[in-house]
């Protein structure tokens, strides 16, 4: 039950959403799918006067736009799963969408933009989008801007969106066919992620690594990018190299996130193995693709 009366508006496009928000920036909340905002209102944690619901703003769907893939802010996990273009061009995000639990009710409801705006450490999307090199498109009172998605995560539960700004979508570069790996550790099907690792790798004809991206999620307040070139590029994906990469990942986590489901010490202990498994999965993927 939502205690307070509120105004619910459905803008027809992003500009109208921005105009609505301008009326009451502090008393408004933007709603993507509502899987986070609505429960917050039910618990009385959030008591907005105005809800700007983006679901009729034409910001959904996934489409190819030149050399990148555009994922609308209100694209749902089901949209990601249903996009052949995404499966071909950004298989990492398909892996992420496949691991979303809660059944179709959640996959049809939760949105990519909503997950970014909520900036919750314990969610899949932020780190995966960072790994995929996405640019966020943001509409605001002073027009549109584009920014690397990594810059949107200021702190836990705090995005870098300014009051009055709305996420329009994400441009994901259609990269060369990299090997993708995604490993998510949870405490059970009902659990939010405790640790995620998104890995993208490439190898040369000799099987030596030419590229390695690793972004850890759910283990720190914001997505954690692990620099691996020094330990992986030029190396074969053998156990010593992967162990070195895992060690790097563990060392990179200096301020692990603690929450109701797992202490920071646990996250610190598992991040290495999770990183190693994601990298292994990515190397296996590129080997099969070749």
Partner 1 sequence: MDAIACRSVSTSATIPPEERLVGQGIRKHDGDEYLTGRATFTGDIALPGMAHAAIVRSPHAHARIVDIDTTAAQARPAVVTVLTGAQAAQLTDEIPHSLDPAGLGGNHAVVRCLAVGKVVYAGEPVAAVVAQTPGDALAAAADVVVRYEPLPVVLDAEAALADDAPLLDESWGTNLIIGGEVGPDDFGAVAASAAHVLDGEVRGHRGNAAPIETRTHVADWDARAGRLTLHATTQNPHPLRSTLAASLRVPEQRIHVIAPRIGGSFGLKMYGNREDFLICLLAMRAGRPVKWVEDRASSLLPGTRDQILRYRVAFDDDGRLRALDVHAISNHGAASPGHGWGMAYVGALTTGAGYALDHCHVTYQVVATNKAPWGGTKPFGKDGATMVMERVIERVAQACGLDPAEVRRRNFVAPDAFPHVHASGMELDSGDYEGTLDLALERVGYDALREEQARLRGQGRHLGIGIGFELVPESADIPGALVAGFDTSTVRMNPSGQVTVLTGVTSPGSGNDTAISQMVAQELGVGMGDVAILQGDTERCPYGFGNISSRSIITGGSAAVLAARDVAAKLRTVAAAMLHTDAGEIVLRGGMAGVDGDAERQVPIAAVAHAVFTLGYLLALGIEPNLESTRTFRPANIRQIPDEQGRMQPYTTYPFAVHVSVAEVDVETGVVALRRHVVAHDCGTMINPRMVDGQVTGGSVMGISAALGEEFVYGDDGVPISDGFKTYLLARASDVPPIELEHQVTPSPVTLLGAKGVGEAGFAGAQAAVLNAVNDALAPLGVALEATPVSPPNVLAAILEAPR
Binding site for partner 1 (CB under 8 A): 1-5, 39, 43-44, 101, 185, 187-192, 194, 260-263, 265-266, 269-270, 273-274
Task: Report in angstroms how near the CB of residue 128 gets to partner 1 at its nearest.
Answer: 20
Residue (178 or 257) nearer to partner 1, CB: 257
> Nearer Cβ to partner 1, position 91 or 181?
181
Measured from the CB atom, the residue of 176 and 188 that comes closer to partner 1 is: 188
Residue closer to partner 1 by CB (options 142, 258) is 258
Given a contact cutoff of 8 angstroms between Cβ atoms, the answer to whether 152 and 162 are in contact is no
Cβ 178 to partner 1 shortest distance, Å: 25
**Is beta strand 166-173 parallel, antiparallel or unpaired with respect to 143-148?**
unpaired
Q: Is 141 left (phi over 0), alpha (psi -120 to 50) or beta?
A: alpha
Q: Of 151 and 258, which CB lies nearer to partner 1 in the complex structure?
A: 258
Could you list the beta-strand ranges (E) of the chain.
7-9, 28-31, 50-53, 62-65, 68-72, 135-140, 143-148, 153-155, 158-159, 166-173, 179-185, 195-203, 209-217, 224-226
Quote the tokens at residue 63: 């489409």
Q: How far is the CB of 97 from partner 1 (least distance, A)?
A: 17
**DSSP code at position 238:** -
CB of 72 to partner 1, least distance (A): 26
Q: What are the CA-CA distances from residue 42 to residues 2, 22, 30, 46, 215 (Å)?
A: 5, 25, 16, 8, 33
Element of type H or E holding 277 = helix 264-289
How far apart are alpha carbons 101 and 262 in whole angstroms?
19
In the bound state with partner 1, the residue whose beta carbon lies nearer, of 42 and 151, is 42
What is the closest distance, in whole angstroms, from the C-beta atom of residue 243 to partner 1 in the complex? 12
CB of 277 to partner 1, least distance (A): 9
């Amino acid at each position: 039950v939502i205690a307070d009366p509120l105004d619910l508006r459905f803008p027809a496009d992003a500009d109208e959403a921005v105009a609505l928000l301008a009326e009451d920036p502090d008393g408004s909340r933007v709603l993507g799918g509502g899987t986070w905002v609505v429960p917050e209102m039910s618990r009385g944690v959030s008591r907005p006067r105005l809800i700007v619901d983006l679901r009729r703003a034409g910001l959904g769907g996934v489409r190819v736009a030149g050399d990148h893939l555009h994922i609308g802010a209100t694209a749902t996990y089901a949209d990601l799963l249903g996009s052949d273009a995404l499966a071909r061009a950004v298989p990492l995000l398909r892996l992420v969408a496949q691991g979303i639990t809660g059944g179709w009710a959640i996959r049809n409801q939760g949105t990519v933009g909503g997950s970014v705006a909520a900036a919750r450490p314990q969610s899949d999307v932020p780190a995966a989008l960072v790994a995929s090199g996405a640019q966020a498109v943001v509409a605001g009172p002073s027009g549109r801007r584009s920014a690397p998605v990594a810059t949107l995560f200021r702190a836990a539960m705090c995005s870098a969106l300014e009051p009055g700004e709305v996420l329009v979508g994400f441009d994901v570069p259609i990269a060369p066919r990299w090997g993708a790996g995604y490993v998510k550790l949870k405490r059970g099907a009902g659990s939010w992620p405790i640790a995620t690792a998104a890995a993208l790798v490439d190898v040369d004809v000799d099987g030596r690594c030419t590229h390695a991206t690793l972004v850890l999620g759910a283990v720190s307040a914001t997505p954690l990018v692990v620099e691996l070139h020094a330990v992986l590029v030029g190396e074969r994906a053998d156990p010593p190299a992967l162990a070195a990469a895992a060690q790097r990942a563990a060392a990179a986590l200096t301020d692990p996130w603690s929450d109701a489901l797992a202490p920071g010490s646990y996250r610190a202990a598992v991040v290495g193995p999770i990183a190693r498994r994601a990298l292994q999965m990515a190397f296996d993927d590129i080997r099969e693709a070749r």
